[in-house]
Amino acid sequence: MADTPKVPTPPPFKAFPGKASVAPPPMQAKTAPTPDLNVDMPVIALTAKDFASDQDVRWCPGCGDYSILAQVQRTLPELGVLPHQMVFVAGIGCSSRFPYYMNTYGFHTIHGRGAAIASGVKAANPDLSVWLATGDGDGLSIGGNHTLHILRRNFDVNIMLFNNRIYGLTKGQYSPTSEVGKKTKSTPYGSIDYPINPSLFALGSEASFVARTIDRDPKHLQEVIKRAAHHKGTAFMEIYQNCNIFNDGAFLNLTEKDVKDDNIVFLKQGEPLIFGKDKNKAIMLDGFTPKVVNVADVSADKLLIHNEQDPILANILGRMSEMEGFPCPLGVIYAHERPTYEEQMTEQITTAKSKGLGDLKKLLNSGNTWSIN
């Protein structure tokens, strides 16, 4: 196969006139600076156990949430962030029980409002490493509005959206990601709601990082968690998760040994999208339309090369998961840094403070004021 073509640099963001696009950051944990007390102290090697709380885990046996929890706890020691520098926030749902099981600070908040609370935590103390656990119901039904706003604001928060395509905690009602025709307790004749694609929702909400992964692939899950942790800005992870009680087998096409290789394409920056049991299939673009081709029939320079900084390609890849005859892209779909909300907010506060103390009475009586007789 010919040399892999160079990945083009995307244009700068129009929302930040004059600022050039930002190259992917060096792998460096985005976290709190080491507190003064720890300066010059030897680094303590933490393990997964240091991030696990003493609470009994109350998920159903066999639930995919166990794997997600285990991979988070296994990955965190590598980030160089101490448990007391982290906050896990959640709304309500099975997935939202996550903070109980973490030996970090945590908030189990109200349904759909985790994104707003996580934004507040980050605004109040930008040095904390803030994580949000949410579900397809919590984050995209009642909390859809809050999810949208945290994404466009770009707080440096890591969001894990557990997508099991069902309301698990409330015993099996349909969710915004349930497929058309799905029969549940609240859709006895089959759902007539068209489902949301969470990764596309995140892209449409101007997320600066969007990745997709799955509970049954621990290694991939860990890689995605690590990438999200290193991204400066809101990192949105859609995690396919099996609810074996109310929606068992929702992702069988991506987990069954005999079919998964034909149904998944793993995204790797700068590499062609090749998939299939024998690595004999690939994706190429015909204009903006993706096509599945046989590797043997096409020259290597015609194959689609992954560029996680390309927003147009991100939309094609986000959509591909539901296109008939195409594999589901797993990995980092989009990663392109831009200034975070808390950075800009701090800058504005500093500028305002530099002007000295204000006069509230003068302010209230300034501008267009009038008296009512």
Q: Name the site residues for ligand TPP (rule: CB under 6 A).
A: 92-95, 111, 135-138, 142, 162, 164, 166-170, 175
Taking only Cα atoms into account, the Rg of the chain, rounded to an integer number of angstroms, comes to: 22
69 vs 304, which CB is nearer to ligand SF4? 69
Place of tokens 């403070």: 353
Angle between helices 114-124 and 144-153 (to 10 degrees): 30
For the bound state, the minimum distance from the C-beta of residue 170 to ligand SF4, rounded and expressed in Å, comes to 9
Strands (DSSP E) found in 102-190? 105-108, 129-135, 157-163
User: Phi then psi for 191, rounded to 5 degrees?
Assistant: -65, 135
From the list ligand TPP, ligand SF4, Mg ion, none, pick the one residue 63 interacts with, judged by a Cβ distance below 5 to 8 Å according to partner type.
ligand SF4
CB 241 within 8 A of CB 215: yes
The amino acid present at 153, given as its one-letter code, is R
- Name which of ligand TPP, Mg ion, ligand SF4, none residue 98 binds, using a CB cut-off of 5 to 8 Å depending on partner kind: none
59 touches ligand SF4 by CB under 6 A: yes
Q: Tokens 């980092």: give the residue.
A: 332
Whole-Å CA distances, 126 to 72, 134, 351? 21, 21, 18
Which lies closer to ligand TPP via its Cβ, residue 85 or residue 163?
163
Which residue type occupies 356?
G
Distance CA 341, CA 119 (A): 9
Cα–Cα nearest to 308, from 233, 229, 210: 210
Among 91, 106, 114, 135, binds Mg ion (CB under 5 A): 135
Beta carbon nearer to ligand TPP, 58 or 84 = 58
Whether 147 and 176 have beta carbons less than 8 Å apart is answered as: no
Identity of the residue, 174 or 334, whose beta carbon is nearer to ligand TPP in the bound complex? 174
- Nearest distance from residue 355's CB to ligand TPP, in Å? 42
- In the range 194-233, which residues lie near ligand SF4 by CB under 6 A? none
Strand partners, 281: 275, 294
- Which 146-165 positions form the footprint of ligand SF4 (CB under 6 A)? 164
Nearer to ligand TPP, 148 or 265 (CB): 148
Told to check if 342 binds Mg ion by CB under 5 A, we report: no
Q: Please state the closest distance from residue 169 (CB atom) to ligand SF4, in A.
A: 6
The least distance separating ligand TPP from the CB of residue 95, rounded to whole angstroms, comes to 4
Tell me the β-bridge partners of 266.
Answer: 330
Nearer to Mg ion, 136 or 342 (CB): 136
Cα 40–28–90 angle (5° rounding)?
Answer: 100
Within 80-99, the residues that bind ligand SF4 by CB under 6 A are 94
Closest approach, Cβ 162 to Mg ion, in A, equals 6
Q: How far apart are CA 331 and CA 308, in angstroms?
A: 10
Residue from 30, 31, 51, 65 touching ligand SF4 (CB under 6 A): that is 65
Whose CA is closest to 255, among 269, 240, 273? 240
The entry of Mg ion, ligand TPP, ligand SF4, none that residue 138 binds, CB within 5 to 8 Å by partner kind: ligand TPP
Residue 326 contact, options Mg ion, ligand SF4, ligand TPP, none, Cβ 5-8 Å cut-off depending on partner type: none
| Partner from ligand TPP, ligand SF4, Mg ion, none contacting 129, C-beta within 5 to 8 A by type | none
Query: CB under 5 to 8 A by kind: which of ligand SF4, ligand TPP, Mg ion, none does 59 bind?
Result: ligand SF4
Adjacency order of strands within the sheet including 274-275: 274-275, 281-286, 289-294
Report how many residues bind Mg ion under the rule CB under 5 A. Answer: 4
Q: What is the C-alpha separation between 205 and 86, in angstroms, rounded? A: 25
86: tokens are: 């982290």
- The Cα 354–Cα 349 span in angstroms is 9
User: Least distance in Å: CB of 91 to ligand SF4?
Assistant: 14
Binding map of ligand SF4 across residues 226-245, x = CB under 6 A, - = no contact: -----------------xxx
Please report, as ranges, the residues that interact with Mg ion according to CB under 5 A.
Answer: 135-137, 164
Please report, as ranges, the residues that interact with ligand SF4 according to CB under 6 A.
Answer: 59-60, 63, 65, 94, 164, 168-169, 243-246
